[in-house]
């Protein structure tokens, strides 16, 4: 079976007033739970060096099926629910396959 590994880059822009410890704690909880998922290889949250209100996840997954499972998980769906009120725009999510 060909290597099914995929990466996801997810860009999340929040309102300036939303960038507080509650939001950071919500991100932390999501990261901790996601890293426990069998199909997750890496799941790293970043800040845009030019904009502290822009967060970027760089994720690596074992297969498309593992991504689907993640997106149905309580910790992910719960996080998305909490995040909605804080968003400036819809998150930009791109799924990419390694080439070189």
**Contact status: 26 vs a second copy (CB under 8 A):** no
**What is the distance between the alpha carbons of residues 40 and 57, in angstroms, rounded to a whole number?**
13
Indicate the burial class of 10 (C-beta count within 10 angstroms; 0-12, 13-18, 19 or more). Answer: middle
> How many chain residues bind a second copy (CB under 8 A)?
25
Cβ closest to a second copy, residue 7 vs residue 69: 7
**Least distance to a second copy from the beta carbon of 34, Å?**
11
**Least distance to a second copy from the beta carbon of 17, Å?**
19
């Amino acid at each position: 079976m060909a290597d099914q590994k995929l990466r996801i880059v997810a860009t999340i822009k929040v309102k300036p007033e939303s960038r507080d410890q509650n939001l950071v704690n919500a991100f932390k909880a999501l990261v901790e739970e996601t890293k426990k998922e069998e199909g997750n290889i890496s799941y790293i949250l970043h800040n845009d060096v030019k904009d502290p209100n822009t967060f970027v996840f760089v994720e690596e997954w074992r297969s498309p099926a593992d991504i689907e499972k993640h997106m149905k998980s309580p910790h992910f769906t719960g996080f998305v629910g909490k995040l909605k009120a804080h968003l400036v725009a819809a998150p930009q999510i791109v799924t990419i396959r390694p080439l070189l």
